[in-house]
Amino acid sequence: MQAGVALNPHTNINVLEDTINDIDLVCLMSVNPGFGGQSFIENTYNKVKQLKALIERKGANTKIEIDGGVTDKNAKQLVDAGADVLVAGSFVFRSENSLDIIKDLKAIANS
């Protein structure tokens, strides 16, 4: 069993300062939770970098997940900022060929 925490877009990373070593995964919401198809919140890149810095400073093994508005336009930048897991719902399921989109996202994220 693993422990995970989800942070809404306007929640400060500092709330994890004392517990980051006890958390296996932090899900950063990059849209406001509630419904699919929302636009990606650009400040998420900064939050990923801040969280990655906190993880490294504390020597934690926590993974960073991004959920909301993930597309082929921002996947690489999110991984470069420090994200380990990307969740792409609407972008995948509203496409004409979900399998091709998934393959493309994996290739972008791993490049």
What's the CA gap between 63 and 51, in Å, rounded? 10
Query: CATH topology for 4-109?
Result: TIM Barrel (3.20.20)
Counts for the chain of helices (H) and strands (E), in that order = 4, 4
Domain ranges of the chain: 4-109
67: β partners: 29, 87
pLDDT digits (tens, 9 = 90+) for 35-79: 777 789 999 999 999 999 999 999 999 999 999 999 999 999 999
Q: Could you tell me which of 11, 27, 13 has the C-alpha nearest to residue 57?
A: 13
pLDDT digits (tens, 9 = 90+) for 69-97: 999 999 999 999 999 999 998 899 888 99
How many angstroms separate the CA atoms of 82 and 42, rounded? 15
Three-class secondary structure of residue 98 per DSSP: helix
Confidence (pTM): 0.92
